[in-house]
Amino acid sequence: MEGHTACQGFSGLFREGAGGYAFAMNALEAGRGERPRFERLSQSAGARRGRLTTSHGEVATPAFMPVATAASVKSLTQKQVDELGAEILLSNTYHLMLRPGADRVAALGGLHRFMSWTKPVLTDSGGFQVASLSALRRVEDEGVTFRSHLDGSLHSLTPERAVEIQEKLGSDVAMVLDECLLYPSERGEVRAAAARSLDWAARSKKVRSRPDQALFGIVQGGSFTDLRRENARALVDLGFDGYGVGGLAVGEPKEMMREMTAVSTAELPEDRARYLMGVGTPVDILESVALGIDMFDCVLPTRNARNGTLFTGLGKIAIKNARYASDESPLDPGCRCYTCSTFSRAYLRHLFVAREMTAATLNTIHNLHFYLDLMRRVRLSIEEDRFSAFLAASRERLDDSAA
Ligand SMILES: [Zn+2]
């Protein structure tokens, strides 16, 4: 499957023992910071250059969030992720609830302290994982009930519980629980899910209690322009610190994804961050920046790295290919990452073919550098008001396929 589905690990499930809040400790750890706030600094065509300020530091936007599903960017240390210039990570509520559990993370001082990552973290709500576990789920107005794929145990997740869990984790940005449908879905179904998600968003807002955590609403409405517009307007009326654009990159054509993104952002306030969830390829990201999106996450760079697919300035490379066996040139001659400035394609191919663990590390360093460097150049092009030209040049150069 493509897009969002391809962009998320979804072996997630939900489980958490009863237990008290380690909330005070969390608040202490976070320095009793203020609620994250977003500022738009400049604009070039539809692209926005902004800044998200949190108690764990600032995030220059448009930003890419490397995915640290289980409080770890697979194959990298936090120091390596930091040195790559990542300013915010995304962690997955489902996975952390299952293992090691929100109460345990809270008791250990919250997610930042637990994983020794001092910069901002965004947590998803588990909504997408619910959709991907649809064979096991039952969605009702109250919330969603489903069975663990690990041990078959029954779990429930309500909008209130999703907020409570994310407050225990102590992320800088929390997402409301939403009902995310895959594409295609019938209009009636999409309408009902959007209405339910809106109700859940209102309930989420009502129970939030952390003063140092932003809560983002999520625009739903599938691929129906009027439903999406209506949903976005109602969500904005409720008022959130930022807005996710959800229910996209779930298998729909690219043109539809772009159209629905545009319909969504057109309704969102200029002074709030917009996060396109689970997107995407380098071209997807650039096209979405043009539509006014500020934040992105996707497993593509990290997962592709582990599969030996490497992004370069001239398209993708499958490093296992025999043609690289004696190739002494760097992976991407235009790249200044540790991998490219130190090792040959021949060595990287050898590590991959020999299944050395270092292959995943070196490949991930390169792919994340590629994404993060692309975002740096996007931001610069907006600052210098030449984003349209940057987009046009990049479209031709970059390969738009996912793998
Ligand atoms: Zn590189």
154-189 tens-digit pLDDT: 888 999 999 999 999 999 999 999 998 889 999 999
Q: What is the pTM assigned to this prediction? A: 0.92
Burial readout 297-306 (b: 16 or more C-beta within 10 A, e: otherwise): bbbbbbbbbb
Q: How far is the CA of 368 from the centre of ligand 1 (A)?
A: 9
Dist. CA 86–CA 372, nearest whole Å? 7
Q: How far is the CA of 334 from the centre of ligand 1 (A)?
A: 8
Q: How far is the CA of 10 from the centre of ligand 1 (A)?
A: 28
Dist. CA 72–CA 357, nearest whole Å? 16
The two beta strands, 273-276 and 37-44, are: unpaired
Dist. CA 76–CA 361, nearest whole Å? 6
Mean pLDDT value across residues 11-33: 39
Q: How far is the CA of 108 from the centre of ligand 1 (A)?
A: 35
The tens digit of pLDDT for each residue in 41-59 reads 999 999 999 999 999 999 9
Residue 242, pLDDT > 70, answer: yes
Mean pLDDT value across residues 267-296: 97
Q: How far is the CA of 11 from the centre of ligand 1 (A)?
A: 30
Please report, for the chain, how many H helices and E strands are present, in that order. 17, 16
**pLDDT band of 319, cuts 50, 70, 90:** very high
The angle formed by the CA atoms of residues 214, 219 and 225, to the nearest 5 degrees, is 160
165 Cβ partners below 8 Å, 6+ apart?
16, 93, 97, 102
Query: What are the beta bridge partners of residue 244?
Result: 218, 275
The angle formed by the CA atoms of residues 371, 115 and 144, to the nearest 5 degrees, is 85
Residues with active-site annotation: 124, 297
Q: How far is the CA of 343 from the centre of ligand 1 (A)?
A: 10
Give the per-residue pLDDT at 300: 97
Residue 219, pLDDT > 60, answer: yes
Q: How far is the CA of 280 from the centre of ligand 1 (A)?
A: 19
